Structure 1
Amino acid sequence: MNARDHATTTARGSDLARQIVVLSAVSFMLIAAVIGSGAFGNTAVEDQQGGALDTDGSYLAPAGPAFSIWSVIYLGLIAYAVWQALPRQRASARQRAMGWPIAVTMVLNGLWLVAARFGTLFLTVVVIVLLLAALGWAFRTAVVTRDPRGGVVDSVLIDGVTGLHLGWVTLATVANTAAWLTTVVPPSWEDAADAIGVAVLVVVALIGLAIAWRSDWRVAPALALAWGLSWLAVERLTGEPTSTPIAIAAVIVALVVLLPPLAVSGLRLIRPSID
């Protein structure tokens, strides 16, 4: 196996099918994203489900600018879909391992937007939990099949993009679930919103650290998670509903999940033998 094509020597009939499926999956995701953005005059995502998915839909919703990370993730997925379709990637062992899981995440990404537009709020929770599970599978596969000879493009478009997707959807799952619960629990529960929100963020910290540990301290998931947590803090300090305890907890958790992977990465740059 060489660094240029990271491939096995013989292509299989299923390899072309895999490439086509990935291209079809990213096309479906993009069509769903355009519709979900309200580009054709329909209701945008944040205004669907009675506004439950907007930044004021729950105590755990991040501020609007946080969602700009989708542009980075989508561009990365588009670039991956084009790159994996190149002839020299067809018989790649790495692509054989990663193409199908990433295609599943693209489809579920699009299905979430369909569920938000045409389904129920509970259905969006079901779909995003499935998306989170698929991303966990995809990212774990990326880590296990990692080949240091794969090159920068391989690292960025597989490990990097999948990691960002996983980190962001981890927080998005929390926000989506909180939005749904806000519509079904008794109003009296709001008196305990600060305590519940802080407790949930503690769990998020544990999940973020677990992802980092299981991925050999990859930085990408932590970056996306810390990004979302930072904007959650901004929204709780400047938006509605306001919660200073949740905002402070969000900042602390962002540091907790981000600093260890950054520290390990820094040590590896200084002392490569640490691996």
Structure 2
Amino acid sequence: MTTVQRTTAPAPTAADRGRQVGVTLAEVFCIVGTLVGVGVIGTRVEESSGGALAADATLLAPLGPAFSIWSVVYAGLAAYTLWQWLPASTTDPRARSTGWLAAASMVLNAGWLLVTQQGWLWASVVVILALVVVLGVLVQRLADLGPAPSLVQRVVVDGTFGLYLGWVAVATCANVTATLVAEGVETYTLVGELVAALVIAVVVVVAAVVVARTGPRWAFAAAAAWGLAWIAVGRLTDEPASTLVGVVAAIAAVAVLGLTARAAARR
């Protein structure tokens, strides 16, 4: 007679519970920051900091509709917060490996919205750079743990943080540019356009590094391409106009998707 041995999931530890509570509190803080950033209890981002972060403020500012991606990211963060409370997820290696980083990303997100309310643009640069680093480490950990074991995790965990990192990578360039312009750096010259084009090229390099280190991540590629495409639309159809920057941004969007498709094909 064959005896079937059943394996039981490890019992949650105090560290697991602390992580779950930490992520949840970070999500609440993120929601408060979002309410500030959209103008419900504060000033809208595009109107804060003297308008330095508006969609028509710099050559690297994505056009307004680009920012709708935040709705998807925020929904994903809320879903992640709920997912990590599921009994099966409490001790999941992916929850344990990413929980505190996810919480840190939400706190930094809200922190960025709060510092821009005060017009502290250089502080916002520091915050968004920290956010990129945190998200980069988180996505690397997901890659190290291997493919997501379920569709839910592919969407809620890998999808959410891939989108988050891809968009923030583009937003960082826009943030730095907006800060420099606010400090009086002139960008509406040929030299300024060339520098903007170079910065866009850096985004492609970053995408190539992400693909090389973590494999093809379509959520990341889609978000980065989305941001770059809306920079292109903004420069080709709105002010400040720049055919050079618009064309380079469009090519960069295609390049990011192409890099990811090439990596996927190799796998």
2:65 paired with 1:33: no
Report if aligned partners of 1:79, 1:157 keep a CA contact under 8 Å in 2: yes
Report if aligned partners of 2:211, 2:263 keep a CA contact under 8 Å in 1: no
Name the residue aligned to 1:51: 51
User: Distance in 2 between the 1:210 and 1:106 partners?
Assistant: 24
Name the residue aligned to 2:141: 141
User: Distance in 2 between the 1:126 and 1:31 partners?
Assistant: 21
User: Distance in 1 between the 2:243 and 2:193 partners?
Assistant: 8
User: Distance in 2 between the 1:216 and 1:8 partners?
Assistant: 29
**Cα pair distance change 1:8/1:185, threshold 3 Å:** farther
User: Distance in 2 between the 1:207 and 1:178 partners?
Assistant: 17
2:77 paired with 1:77: yes
Q: Deviations over 1:187-212 (max 9, x none)?
A: 48734111111111111111111111
Moved segments of 4+, more than 3 Å: 185-191
Give 1:39 shift: 1.4
User: Distance in 2 between the 1:246 and 1:189 partners?
Assistant: 11
User: Distance in 2 between the 1:199 and 1:8 partners?
Assistant: 50
User: Distance in 2 between the 1:259 and 1:189 partners?
Assistant: 30
**Cα pair distance change 1:16/1:232, threshold 3 Å:** same
Give 1:157 shift: 1.2
State TM-score, norm by structure 1: 0.90
Give the aligned residue type for 1:12: T
Give 1:76 shift: 0.5
Name the residue aligned to 1:21: 22
User: Distance in 2 between the 1:242 and 1:139 partners?
Assistant: 35
Report if aligned partners of 1:167, 1:220 keep a CA contact under 8 Å in 2: yes
Name the residue aligned to 1:161: 160
User: Distance in 1 between the 2:139 and 2:189 partners?
Assistant: 36
Q: Secondary structure at the match of 2:189?
A: helix
Structure 2 residue ranges without an equivalent (≥5): 1-7
- Note the 1:74-113 alignment, pairs <5 A: 74-113=74-113
Structure 1 residue ranges without an equivalent (≥5): 1-6, 268-273
Name the residue aligned to 2:4: none
User: Distance in 1 between the 2:195 and 2:183 partners?
Assistant: 15
Q: Secondary structure at the match of 2:225?
A: helix
RMSD (Å) for aligned C-alpha atoms: 1.6
